[in-house]
Amino acid sequence: MPEASGLVADLGGGSIEIVALKKGEIRHSVSLNYGHLSNADEAEIITALTQIGWIKSFAAKQLFGVGGSFRALGSAFIEREHYPLPVLHGLKISSDMVMTLCDDFIQSDSALDGVPVARRRTMPMAAKIIRALVDIAAVRRVVVSGTSIRDGVVAINELNETQRADFLVAISQEISGASGRFVGVSDALKHFLQPLTIGRKPRFARLLDVACNLADMCWHEHSDMRGDLAARRVLGLPVNCITHKERIWLATVLYHRYVGLKQNKPHPEEMESLLRSKRRAEALTVGLALRFALIFSAGTCDYLKNIRLECQPDVMRLHIDPSARALFDSHCQRRFIDFAASANCSAEVIYD
């Protein structure tokens, strides 16, 4: 999370390190001798945290929790709340829910449901520290880190500048190179779909870039299973610079890229969660756009160069070079109409 803003707390066995970040830059830091193996009174912990004035005055909206105790907190939240995506990294838990969980963990008769067995003995102490910090800092949410300091050290020393800038884009490019059928297709898709980014936020352009890189990742799978498999692979993508909502958005895109609008195909249940209807509709549009472009071009970049997209508020225009006219059969026409309709646009085709 290279541009993170908020407090970072690394809770270990004998200490807790707290850092204040603004857009990835360190503004304050402190280390206190309280960890999940400590035997301290909660009042003592509260006094120590209160004496660090910037913890409250920094007015952070979120606390990034690093370490096994925070991961145990996340595991308990996922199990107790039946959270739909069982991925710890990037999991967001409201401060009210964090306080509720910590209140339970501290009780002597708590069953510690959802807490990994190896963490149950020390979770009450960890809960006292987390509860005190969340209360004093007055953050709105805790964001669980599924990684640790060692992962950061590896990233600094092993990744190149491009990978560090956006590892999600970098790894999607690697997947494209390893699984794509033809060279240059992902770049041709980006060029064709670039008009979709007009007037949208940079995060949409970033995810569209990644979707184009992943668009052919399951071409070699059975046609009845491609959508389901592609969506599941995105949900389980082993990268951490992606939010839960972004995972589901990309999974939805890849699913519709292979399935289109069919209703009788298998799909992960997680696709029905977390996203608002507007974002889900947006993902459908991108998926249908990829499906149209790749089927029209037979998955090659040469034919993609023969079409151009023009997006107006209410009209989606497809410009086709006359040399590729024969490729635009009734099936392709239907797919283009579906794509345009998903964006609440009428469809126009121009041969020029």
* pLDDT the model gives residue 239: 84
* pLDDT the model gives residue 154: 81
CB 165 within 8 A of CB 173: no
Q: List every span in the chain annotated with CATH 3.30.420.150.
A: 6-153
Distance of CA 25 to the CA centre of its chain: 22
Q: List the chain pLDDT tens, one digit each, 352 residues.
A: 778 999 999 999 999 999 999 999 999 999 999 999 999 999 999 999 999 999 999 999 999 999 999 999 999 999 999 999 999 999 999 999 999 999 999 999 999 999 999 999 999 999 999 999 999 999 999 999 998 878 778 878 887 777 777 888 888 999 999 988 888 999 999 999 999 999 999 999 999 999 999 999 999 999 999 999 999 999 999 888 899 999 999 999 999 999 999 988 999 999 999 999 999 999 999 999 999 999 999 999 889 999 999 999 899 999 999 999 999 999 999 999 999 999 999 999 999 8
* pLDDT the model gives residue 159: 77
Q: List every span in the chain annotated with CATH 1.10.3210.10.
A: 160-303
- List strands edge to edge, sheet with 141-144: 25-32, 16-22, 6-11, 62-66, 141-144, 92-94
* pLDDT the model gives residue 153: 85
* pLDDT the model gives residue 180: 81
| CATH superfamily membership of 6-153 | Exopolyphosphatase. Domain 2 (3.30.420.150)
> Could you tell me which CATH number the domain at 160-303 has?
1.10.3210.10
Name, in order, each residue with C-beta under 8 angstroms of 42's C-beta and a sequence gap of 6 or more. 128, 131, 132
Distances (CA, A) of 10 to 13, 32, 102: 10, 11, 17
* pLDDT the model gives residue 156: 80
